[in-house]
Structure 1
Amino acid sequence: MIPVRGLENHKVAVLGLGRSGLTAARALAAGGAHPLCWDDGAAGRERAEREGFELRDLTRPGAFDDIDLLVTSPGIPHLYPVPHKAIAAALEAGVAVDNDIGLFFRSLASGDWDRFDTPPKVVTVTGSNGKSTTSALIAHLLEDAGRPVQLAGNIGRGVLDIDPPEDGAVIVLELSSYQTELARALTPDIAVFTNLSPDHLDRHSGYGGYFAAKRRLFAEGGPDRAVVGVDEVEGAFLANQLSVGPSDDRVIRVSSERKLSGPGWSVFARKGFLSEYRKGRQVASIDLRQVRGLPGAHNHQNACAAYAVARCLGIAPRVVEQGLHGFAGLPHRSQIVAERNDVRFVNDSKATNIDSAARALQAFDRIRWICGGLEKEGGLEGLHPHLGSVAKAYVIGREAEHFALGLGSGVDSEVCGTMEQAVAQAVAEAQPGDTILLAPAAASFDQYDSFERRGEDFVARVNAALGI
């Protein structure tokens, strides 16, 4: 655990008692603060009481009269569409609002670091798509190279729940826009921006607010190195703002769409080959086509970003290449779960929005596509240019008929409703060379309580169909 520093003998309110909230309460107590906890749900309050934490209803009048700081969980709205009642009360009372990410950065370093030969470093990863895969891949590459590493944040453990880092260690944090927007301290050594596409727009009052939340990690975090995906205009703008000129190698530009030129530092993938260029010259190249855990251009972008971080940390290209081949991928993210009779089965249940589903559809040649669920705002028109590789769509979800209509007349589709029926029909019709792909382009909550449960159901149905 990372004890929270600088709040000894202070009363700190903790709002939201899920994983991050309870961990924050424990870390506050370990650092000598007095946490006062609240959750709108009875189950959360009961969990806190069982651990001996004091409860206080933060929505009642006067709740913040003696509070020095409010720490809130990332899922609780603090600005848009409207602040939670307790956060609004804290703002009115002039009480500072923070989250566990801010507490982590203010508390990480300790006096023990003076004895380290190599101080620990923090790598942060944000963006719309690919954050989890990129974060996990960075951690894998470092571990494979023999570097002590911990993975935390929006993936793995809570940031305050990790062990105090040792000499030369690296902490890799996946950070969402909810986390970067509110954290009062952001001081990563290396920060990664993968890409940007519309998501969580209600929480940020539009696309500009969403980008601004991501941008804080760089503009206010001031990382020593920034790895920036430049395939969208926002990334290109961010890279431009962070660099002082074309040859500034503190900014590493990354692309999965085109060759990057110029005197600076860049890493890009074209036709399945990763290339690293510095000062206008190629210094390394890796064939990504046979890296089974990273199929498709979107995963090649993740590989480029992770490669760039590894190079910043002094790992040789050949060592990175070896690590890439050992990466199995993450569950529910372009995960190859079975192969039979030259038919591949891929679980990309995490593809919950149009952009991530489009990236998955571009990764394979002939697809029997299982899609559908709770459709997000904006419709499905953004998918239409990427349906050329779809042999047939098998639509699930409570609104499967409406979803199928949104795909348009250019794709053969069948309304299946359930995962069981969709998998059975796709297996029955699959031909050698096909990929049966779950990439829903929708949220899961009409039939499942999470995208993980949806992916697990897909895997179970595939196993049953194949007799595994």
Structure 2
Amino acid sequence: MIPVRGYGGQRVAVLGLGRSGLAAARALKAGGAEPLVWDDSPEARAKAEAEGLALHDLTRARAFEGVAALIVSPGIPHLYPAPNPIVAHALAEGIPVDNDIGLFFRSFATPEWNRFDQPPKVIAVTGSNGKSTTTALIHHVLQVAGRPVQMAGNIGRGVLDLDPAGDGAVVVLELSSYQTELARALTPDIAVFTNLSPDHLDRHRGPGGYFAAKRRLFAEGGPDRAVIGVDEVEGRFLANQLSEGPGDDRVIRVSSGTKLEGPGWSVFARKGFLAEWRKGRQVASIDLRAIKGLPGAHNHQNACAAHAAVRSLGLAPKLIEEAFHSFAGLPHRSQLVAERGGVRFVNDSKATNVDSAAKALQAFPRIRWIAGGLGKDGGIAALAPHLDHVVKAYLIGHSARDFALQLGDTAHEICETMEVAVARAAAEAEPGDTVLLAPAAASFDQYPNFEKRGEDFTARVQALAAG
């Protein structure tokens, strides 16, 4: 646990008692504060009370008397589309509003660090797509290198559940826009921006607000090194703002598909090969084509970002390449779950928007595509340029019929359920085909989350393989 510093002897309200909220309350208590906790859910309140945490009804008119700050869980809106009423009350009263990420950055460093030979480092990863894989890949490479490393944030553990840092330790954080937008402290040593595509636009009142939330990690944080994906205009703009000129190697530009030239520091992938350039010459190269845990151009972009981040810590390219080969990938993110009769079955349930689905559709040559769920604005119309690898689509969930209308001449079948879709795709697949779950939609029509959807796909594939 990371005890929260700066609130000793003070009352701090905590709204939302999921993983991050409970961890924040415990860490506040460990740091000498008096956490006052609340959640709309009676079950969540009962769980907190059973831990000995003090319930405090934040819906009451004078709930913030004597309260030093309000700590808000990421899923609770504080600005758009409208502030949660409790947050609005705190804003009106002038109570500082923060989240667990802000508490972490104000509390992670301690006086004990003065005795360390190597000060601990924090690598923070944000972006629209690929941030989980990039975070996990950085963590894996550092583990293989023998560095003491922990992973947390939007993946793995809550940030305040981490162990205090030791000599030379590294913490790798995945941070969503919900987390970066509100944190009052953001001070990573290395910050990574993977890419940007439209998502969570209601929460941020449009693409500008969404980009601004991501940008805070760099503008507010002032990292020593910034790794920036420059395949979109927002990334190029961000890299330009952070750099003092073309040769400023505090900014490492990353691309999948574009050769990056110039006197600065860059890492890019083309035709399956990663290349690192610095001061106008190539200093490293990795053949990514045979790395099973990183299929497709989108994963090659993740590999470039991870390579750049760990190179910033001084790791050798040869060691990084060896670690890449032992990376198994993450569940629900281009995860190879089975091979049967020359047919691959790939679970990319995390592809919940058209941009991530497009990347998955470009990763394999012949695809039996399982798609559908609770569609987002625009459906899958934007995927039309990426359907050339699709042999046939098998559509499930609430938006199956709407998706069918947007597929044009692409062969398709409305299957409704995962059970039917997997059975039909497996029955029709030929050697060399990939049965790909890349829904391009949310899961909430049939599943509580994308993980459960991916687990259902995996279980049905494994049942076929067993049969």
Q: TM-score range by the shorter chain?
A: over 0.9
Q: Does 1:64 align with 2:78?
A: no
Alpha-carbon distance between aligned partners in 2 of 1:202 and 1:395, rounded to the nearest angstrom: 26
Q: Shift of residue 238 of structure 1?
A: 0.1
**d(CA) in 2 for partners of 1:415, 1:356:** 22
Question: Does residue 214 of structure 1 match 2:208?
Answer: no
Q: Give the deviation of 1:466 after TM superposition.
A: 1.7
Q: Which 10-residue stretch deviates more, 323-332 or 374-383?
A: 374-383
Q: How far does residue 63 in structure 1 lie from its aligned partner after superposition?
A: 0.7
Deviations along 1:45-67, one digit per CA (max 9) or x if unpaired, are 11111011111111210111211
What is the one-letter code of the residue matched to 1:405? L
Q: Which moved more, 1:228-237 or 1:334-343?
A: 334-343
Give secondary structure in 1 for the equivalent of 2:441: coil
Residue 190 of structure 2: aligned partner: 190
1:84-233 matches, within 5 Å, as 84-233=84-233
Structure 1 residue 399: deviation in Å?
3.2
2:459 matched residue in structure 1: 460
Q: Deviations over 1:190-212 (max 9, x none)?
A: 00000000000000000000000
Rounded to whole Å, the distance in 1 between the matches of 2:403 and 2:269 is 34
Whether the aligned pair in 1 keeps the contact of 2:333 and 2:348 (CA below 8 Å) is yes
Please tell me whether the aligned partners of residues 65 and 93 of structure 1 are also in contact (alpha carbons under 8 angstroms).
no
Deviations 1:206-257 (Å, cap 9, x if unpaired)?
A: 0000000000000010000000000000000000000000000000000002
**Partner amino acid for 2:65?**
D
Q: Which amino acid aligns with 2:398?
A: R
Counterpart AA for 1:427: A
- Shift, 1:379, TM fit: 2.4
Which runs of structure 2 are paired with 1:22-421 in the superposition (5 Å)? 22-407=22-407, 409-421=408-420
The answer on whether the counterparts of 2:4 and 2:27 sit within 8 Å (CA) in structure 1 is yes
Could you give the per-residue CA deviations for residues 98-143 of structure 1, whole angstroms, max 9, x where no partner exists? 0000000000011111110000000000000001000000000000
By how many angstroms is 1:172 displaced? Answer: 0.1
CA distance in 2: counterparts of 1:197 and 1:250, whole angstroms: 25
SS in 1 for 2:67: coil
2:379–2:402: 8 Å Cα contact kept in structure 1?
no
Q: Which range moves more in the overlay, 456-465 or 207-216?
A: 456-465
1:363-394 deviations in whole A, cap 9, x for unaligned? Answer: 00000000000001122211111000000000
Report the Cα distance in structure 1 between the residues aligned to 2:11 and 2:346, rounded to whole angstroms: 49
**What is the TM-score when the length of structure 1 is the normalising length?**
0.99
Q: How many residues align?
A: 467
1:60 maps to amino acid:
R
Aligned-residue sequence identity (percent) comes to: 73
Q: Distance in 1 between matches of 2:322 and 2:165?
A: 25
Rounded to whole Å, the distance in 2 between the matches of 1:137 and 1:167 is 22
Judge conservation of contact 2:375–2:398 (CA < 8 Å) in 1: no
Larger displacement relative to structure 2 (44-53 or 294-303)? 44-53
Question: Which residue is equivalent to 1:427?
Answer: 426
Tell me if structure 2 keeps the 8 A contact 1:120–1:167: yes
Unaligned segments of structure 2, at least 5 residues: none
Name the structure 2 match of 1:8.
8
**Structure 1 residue 189 displacement after superposition:** 0.1
Alpha-carbon separation, structure 2, partners of 1:233 and 1:242: 14
Partner Cα separation in structure 2 for residue 158 and residue 378 of structure 1:
34
Structure 1 stretches of 5 or more lacking a match?
Answer: none
RMSD across aligned C-alpha pairs, in angstroms?
A: 0.7
SS in 2 for 1:62: coil
